[in-house]
A and B are shown apart, each in its own frame.
Chain A
Amino acid sequence: MTLHLPFHERYEARSSPLHRADARVKLVATVAYIFAVTLTPFGAWTALLLLAAPLVPAAAASRLSPWLVLRRSMLALPFVLAAVPLAFTREGPAVFSVPLLGWDASETGLTAVATILAKSWLSVTAAVLLTASTPAVELIRALRALRVPRLLVATVQVMYRHIFVIGEEAARLTRARDSRSGARPGYRSGGTLWWRARVLGNMVGSLFLRSYERSERVYAAMLARGYDGEPRLLDRPAVRLAEAAAAALLVAYALGVQWYARA
């Protein structure tokens, strides 16, 4: 039975300057950019705004729809939740108090949360642009070309391969369960919440077992074809000067912003 499942690559095929750019250059530029964003001091709003600026031409050069980039960048939001307690734990004069619980939010705390929100969003947006404009295979090759340890690259590669395997396995399990989730007219169906939760827990367990067994088989098949963890390249073209220059410009700009933020 063929499955047409809603699991997609992050890569969005387009013909754009950003898509054509060398994966190594894009990777280095993105990592440098994320470092710069991360190092920005708390509350340095102008600096963060200046750092947001390069995302606009980069997004334009990718020819991706702004809506798609924006939607994917929302991935940053759940992580920000982890930062919310900071608002109540930083010392300082209270700005407001949570009714009933009596927690006081300080100004320094709120600044910290807002800065973390801004930084995560900028970093994730940069990563979204990178992954949407670069096929995963090229990214993995770029990691290796940049001398990232082979074991780490191999882990990323195998993980990427298996996300889809596990996703499809999960979709099949869910489909089998839905197929047998029936009702009789006039009777209550669905069992208790506790029972349904247990079924789901069992499904997660079987998913793990099957994925584990399947990954062993896939790995055996990879070994059988001489896999040694080293991605192979037919040819490795030289980095184009214009692209390297653009990346260098971005890095210099980010450093300049950092210098400004601390001046």
Chain B
Amino acid sequence: MHALEPRVAVAAAVETVDLRFTYPDGVEALRGVNLTVGTGEKVALLGPNGAGKSTFLLHLNGILRGRGEVRILGVPLTDATLRQIRAQVGLVFDQPDDQLFSPTVLDDVAYGPLYLGLPKEEVLERARRALEAVGMAGFEDRMPHHLSLGQKKRVAIATVLSMDPAVLVLDEPTASLSPAARRELIRLLQSLPQTMIVSTHDIPLVREAFPRTVIMDGGLVVADGPTDKILADRDLLTAHGLEAF
């Protein structure tokens, strides 16, 4: 793995300090988010619509740049480190149609490693491994926009796996999937070794695959702890528009 050289010996995979962001139309989406995620941790991000989850995720690879600090493996996100950090943080959008922009599945999965400047053989090898990991080997020449939603979601994950990122950031990976497609995706998420931050409304998924849960509401982290403890706190969940069952 081409990890960035950590500044300190045991840097957290992801660290944000007092992250604030206001959209141009005046919506204050993040109002000082502090979050530290250790290497290899799997964190679920819960919260009602409009809590700032997606906005927060878009800060982790610098698509949005707010005030405050973002550090990935100890490296602060700045103009100079932006591209290195994008190679380290694989961001998967909630709509796979937003993620896939190439004419074939292979072109899309190969985009990241090609941009990284890897030699052709390695690009193809990485693309092959990524597609295999998500169970989409054999779909290389298909057009992404004619796949099923579940297939698109898996290809979208392959497009970042091929970059060999240290951190995977996924926005609502199981939304609108049929039960079987959802089950396959959960199995995939469990099989991946990367540090993971996943925003979701899928409580059973959280219970199954994420030992740690963070709740965001109103642009702030309002709860952070072991998943079983957080999901057992009904009052907390209800107060933030969530339901456990």
**Which chain A residues have a beta carbon within 8 Å of chain B's beta carbons?**
1-2, 4, 6, 172-173, 175-185, 187-191, 195, 199, 202-203, 205-206, 209-210, 213
Contact = CB atoms under 8 A, between A and B. Distances in A.
A175 B171 CA distance: 14
Interface in B71-128: 83-88, 90-91, 93-95, 97-103, 107, 111-112, 114-117
A189 B103 contact: no
A6 B93 CA distance: 19
Given A180-B159, A182-B163, A195-B114, A202 B91 contact: no
A186 to B, nearest CB: 10
B145 A182 contact: no
Contacts of B112: 180-182
Contact of A1 (B4, B87, B94, B160): B94
Interface string B171-195: 1000000000000000000000000
Contacts of B115: 180-182, 189-191
Contact of B102 (A4, A188, A199): A199
A181 B86 contact: yes
Contact of B2 (A184, A188, A195): A184
Given A1-B58, A176-B93, A182-B84, 12 more contacts: A4-B23, A172-B98, A177-B111, A178-B63, A182-B115, A182-B116, A183-B116, A189-B117, A205-B103, A206-B103, A209-B145, A213-B145
A6 B24 contact: yes
B34 interface: no
A2 B52 CA distance: 10
Given A181-B83, A206-B145, A190 B63 contact: no
Interface of B: 2, 4-5, 23-25, 27, 50, 54, 58, 61, 63, 83-88, 90-91, 93-95, 97-103, 107, 111-112, 114-117, 145, 159-160, 163, 171
B103 A202 contact: yes
Most chain B CB neighbours (cut-off 10 Å) among A177, A181, A195: A181
Contact of B61 (A173, A177, A179): A179
A199 B111 contact: yes
B95 A4 contact: no
Contacts, number: 101
A182 B94 contact: no
B111 A180 contact: yes
Contacts of B117: 183-184, 187-191
A175 B86 CA distance: 12
A182 B83 contact: yes
27 contacts: A1-B98, A2-B54, A175-B63, A175-B98, A176-B99, A179-B86, A180-B90, A180-B159, A181-B112, A182-B83, A182-B88, A182-B163, A183-B116, A183-B117, A187-B116, A187-B117, A189-B83, A189-B115, A190-B117, A191-B114, A191-B115, A191-B117, A199-B102, A199-B111, A202-B102, A203-B101, A210-B145
Contacts of A205: 103
A180 B163 contact: yes
A15 B9 CA distance: 61
Contacts of A180: 86, 90, 111-112, 115, 159-160, 163
A177 B100 CA distance: 9
A173 B114 contact: no
A185 B87 CA distance: 10
A199 B100 CA distance: 12
A184 B159 contact: no
A205 B102 CA distance: 9
A27 B114 CA distance: 52
Most chain A CB neighbours (cut-off 10 Å) among B86, B101, B103, B111: B101
A4 B27 CA distance: 10
Contacts of B159: 180
Contact of A185 (B84, B111, B171): B84
Contacts of B50: 2
Contacts of B100: 176
Most chain A CB neighbours (cut-off 10 Å) among B91, B100, B112, B117: B117
A1 B93 contact: yes
A19 B95 CA distance: 39
Contacts of B61: 179
B92 to A, nearest CB: 9
Top 9 A-B pairs, shortest CB-CB distance: A182-B87, A183-B83, A182-B86, A1-B54, A180-B112, A172-B98, A4-B23, A189-B117, A173-B101
